[in-house]
Structure formats: C-alpha cells, structure tokens
Structure 1
Amino acid sequence: MSGRLLLVDDEPGLRQAVQAYLEDSGFVVEVASNAREGWEKVQQLLPDLVISDIMMPQVDGYQFLKQLREDPRFETLPVVFLTARGMTSDRIQGYNAGCDAYLPKPFDPEELVAIVSSLLERRSAIARAGGDDEKTDLADIKEQIAQLRAMLSQKGTIAQTPAPIHLDFTPREQSVLELVAEGLMNKEIARRLDTSVRNVEKYVSRLFSKTGTNSRTELVRYALEHGLTK
C-alpha cells in the first residue's frame, strides 16, 4: 500500500527516523516541524494521511486536528497521533477529538506501518464504494447547480467578473471542474474520465484549495462567475 503522508513532529531525531522508515516501506513522506507548518503543507500537498505529535509548542496536536476537521477538505482525512502521553484518558481524548489511531511513544515502527496501511486501505475501499459522504451531503447537488445556473443566467448570460488571480489548473483538474459544473458526482466523474473515485476526490479537493471554496456549489458559482467553465 503506497500513499503520500505528512509527518508533523517537533523532535528532529524522531521526525527523521520515522520518515526514513516509512519511506523504506514504500510511502512518500513530507515533514513539518510544527502544527502551523503542518497546516500550510497539508493544504499544499493534500496528503492521503497525516501523522502528528500531540505535545508541540504554540499549537498542539489537538488544536491541529480540530483545524483539519473543521475544514470540509480534510474532515475525513485519516490522522494518526504519535505521543508520549499514553494514558487511557489521553487516548480517549484523542479519539474524541477525531483521530483515527493513537500510538504512544516509544512505538514499534512496524506497528505504525500496519496502522497507516490499514487506514489507507479503508479510505480506498470507501472511495471505491462511491463515497458515503458524497451521498449524504450532495444528494441534491444537481438541483442546486441547476438553480445556480438559472439564477446567474436571469439576464440572458451568466454574469462574469474577471478572475482575481490567474488559476493554473492542470488539464485533468479542468476536466473535473467541467464535470462538477454539470452536476456529476465523483463516481460518475471517475467513470467518465476512466479513473478512480479516490483520484477524483483529490482533484476536487485541489480545486477547492485553488479557488478558496468549501463546497461544490461554491466551486461551481466561482467557476461560472469567473468564466472558468461554460
């Protein structure tokens, strides 16, 4: 099982050792030395999974996790806590905060690899099934987009304003944007583009990040108003 991981830990020695072991196990690993740097990198890299220490200066792991969970792009992103705090109450606090796994230090690197692989496989299985979150949150997305198009076209043409910045979409991101604007779900987009649902999820997340939007309806509105799609 491969994937792109983000490791956030303020201990250089541990950070380097864990990164080397995970990379030897076939993962692509980016690192951050604190939660603020981790937040910047998670938005840039859109990793498949985050491994974070809890005891960090300024912004601790719990605050970092809360920030991730409050962002629609990362609310389902798997997060593993690595921490020296191994009491049962600490683990309960971690799970209540929304982490997917909790591994107290010192830990066996093989166990970490097993946990990471398991979480990535579970996420992949959900994507292959079509994405449960998509079914619940976006069941009426086609109707919303149709209403949005109608509202913006009341004067005969869609009101467009110049894009405030140049958005450098890849050809695949542009293709996904066009299909999202048609009201297609991730599973339908994946079928149309002959790719996996997981890949489509990544492209949609990148579109959110590049346009500063948080939902498909916001994304389509932004794209239509700025002439990024037809």
Structure 2
Amino acid sequence: MAGQLLLVDDEPGLREAVKAYLEDEGFTVHVASNAREGWDLLQQTAPDLVISDIMMPQVDGYEFLKQMREDPRYQALPVIFLTARGMTSDRIQGYDAGCDAYISKPFDPDELVAIVSSILKRRAAATQTSGDGETPDIADMARQIAEIKAMLSQRGGIPQTPAPIKIDFTPREQSVLELVAEGLMNKEIARRLETSVRNVEKYVSRLFSKTGTNSRTELVRYALEHGLTK
C-alpha cells in the first residue's frame, strides 16, 4: 500500500538502505538525520507514518514522539520505533510513550514493510469516508442512536449493567463518547471540541478498541447499556 513516510535515523548507511527498500515497495520516503530535522520535514511533508530511531543526539526518539503527541496535528499520526534497544523494558517504554509498533535492530526489511502496510491499511479502513468526510451511513447515525435509546428505555429507563471489565477513559475520550452518543459527525465533534477531525478519528478508534466494538452504533449501545454515557 503506497503512502508518504518520514524516516528519522542518525545512521546514514541504515537510513539510506531502509529508504531504498521502502521506495522499492512503492512508498515515498522522506529522510532526516535527527529529530529536529525530522520535525521540520514533518511539517513540510505531512507524512502518513513516521519511522524513528530512539538513540539520537540532542533530541532522542522519545522526546520526538512526545513532541508529536503534544501537537494536535500529529496526535493520531502512526509512529514506528526502529531501534537497537530491544529489551522488554525498552519496548514497554516505547508503547507507553505512544508508538504504534516497536521493531528491534537488526530486523527483517520484509517485516518492516508488512508492519507499515498493516498500520496504513487499518488507518485507511478506520477513516474510509464518503464525500462529506464521514462513513457512508453517517446520515442515519442520529436516527439509529435514537432507536437504540428508545429500545433500551422501553421498560422505564435504560437498563445499566457494569461493564465486563473496568474501562478507564481519558477526559477527552469521554467527551468524544458523549458526542458520538448524541449522533454528531466527526466534523461536528471536532468543531465542538476545537480539535482536528484526525484527532476525533483517533479517539473514536480508541473507544472501539477499549469497548471491543466495531461501529458507532455498537459503541453507543455498549456505552448506554453499561452506564458509560448518558
């Protein structure tokens, strides 16, 4: 699956080898030798995914990732760490920092391509839209949600049972959940929360993951049945 990639690594040989391999697979690859250069290229090229080393001079990969996650424009941007730090504790630290995948050097280039392709395909599937920027059936969302609420309220109130597992939503995830339950589209949610549509898509994806649901209607039904929203 073609896409725009940003590769940040301070090892010239590896950087060029990875760039060449990815380009042979159809990707467009922009390269940077350090995180500061990577940050500049990030704003210039708007890549679909970032591949970054961790151990780099001045600004390391963790700081680079932190900078991205603190910027609303890049909070949902997929990031892969490609690094020589391969201990389990390193991997945990990477995922805790917010990376989407962690690959230890030395690595199989085919595995890197497979992971990049998989992440981009999932992202494309999650954000596949119609002309108005929403899923094709989004116009029916409010009606479906109203029907769910009516059905669950037939016995004098929405029956609520504890969720099978304790779910901890961040304040922003909870806000997005409440607005999804109102039947708002991603663009409307983005305007209400003064954020980007990409960020809303990211939060909705996280809500799907945390609740084990696959659609907005399933998410709303789950949330109502378990008292996760009003």
Establish whether TM, by shorter chain, passes 0.5: yes
Rate the CA distance shift 1:65–1:128 in 2: closer, same or farther, 3 A: same
Q: CA deviation at 1:79?
A: 0.2
How many residues are aligned here?
149
* 1:58 correspondence with 2:54: no
- RMSD over aligned CA atoms reads 2.8
Give deviations 1:175-223, integer Å, cap 9, x for gaps: xxxxxxxxxx96xxxxxxxxxx9xxx9xxxxxxxxxxxxxxxxxxxxxx
The residue type paired with residue 78 of structure 1 is P
Between stretches 58-67 and 118-127, larger displacement belongs to 118-127
1:206 equivalent in structure 2: none
1:125 equivalent in structure 2: 125
Q: CA deviation at 1:139?
A: 4.0
2:113 equivalent in structure 1: 113
Rate the CA distance shift 1:141–1:118 in 2: closer, same or farther, 3 A: closer
CA distance in 1, matches of 2:61, 2:193: 37
The residue type paired with residue 126 of structure 1 is A
1:225 equivalent in structure 2: none
CA distance in 2, matches of 1:115, 1:141: 29
CA distance in 1, matches of 2:83, 2:111: 14
CA distance in 1, matches of 2:63, 2:98: 11
CA distance in 1, matches of 2:79, 2:62: 11
Rate the CA distance shift 1:140–1:26 in 2: closer, same or farther, 3 A: closer
1:17 equivalent in structure 2: 17
Q: CA deviation at 1:128?
A: 1.1
**Aligned residue runs from structure 1 range 90-169, under 5 A:** 90-128=90-128, 130=134, 139=188
Give deviations 1:13-64, integer Å, cap 9, x for gaps: 0000000000000100000000000000001100000000000000000000
TM-score, normalised to structure 1, is: 0.59
1:150 equivalent in structure 2: none
Query: Which stretches in structure 2 are left out of the alignment for 5+ residues?
Result: 136-172, 181-185, 202-230
Q: CA deviation at 1:142?
A: 6.2
Query: Which stretches in structure 1 are left out of the alignment for 5+ residues?
Result: 146-184, 187-196, 202-230
**Aligned residue runs from structure 1 range 1-230, under 5 A:** 1-128=1-128, 130=134, 139=188
Where 2:127 maps in the other structure, the secondary structure is helix
Where 2:30 maps in the other structure, the secondary structure is strand
CA distance in 1, matches of 2:88, 2:114: 21
CA distance in 2, matches of 1:66, 1:29: 22
